[in-house]
Structure 1
């Protein structure tokens, strides 16, 4: 997957930090499966998201990818088997849980 680094941490490149991406199942898949266009129809988006999630479901680094997307507030695409809306809801849920403790 071609990561969008706009919210990436400001750290020196460290192989271990990015290394999980080398094992990502999506590495050989075009980014169009994981990132839609503004012109795509709802039906096309739903199909694309389903296909991306299917790829993610069998990925060895699903948890690392999901953690990355949640930690760095990725606002586009499918990461760790989650859409941007699903990640937004998960971050909200995590904040509510933190406030309760």
Structure 2
């Protein structure tokens, strides 16, 4: 009975986390799951936090219940660390509008 309750609890927690993740990053494409990076905390209280990818401005890390996930911005957009969204790159023609 205890194992069943734990399974039900984990299923609920994971489904809530996945629902909020899909709402906040609706247009981003999942690339891969990566191990926890020390500079990017990903504890339960950090779920849904977004972090820039220092190796690629067109992607970012999102903290999920199971660890950091590398997400890719839609084509032509870059991760904006000030706004925590995929946005037109600074200095582009679309950025000035």
User: Normalization by structure 2: what TM-score?
Assistant: 0.29
Greater fraction of residues in strand: 2
Greater C-alpha radius of gyration: 2
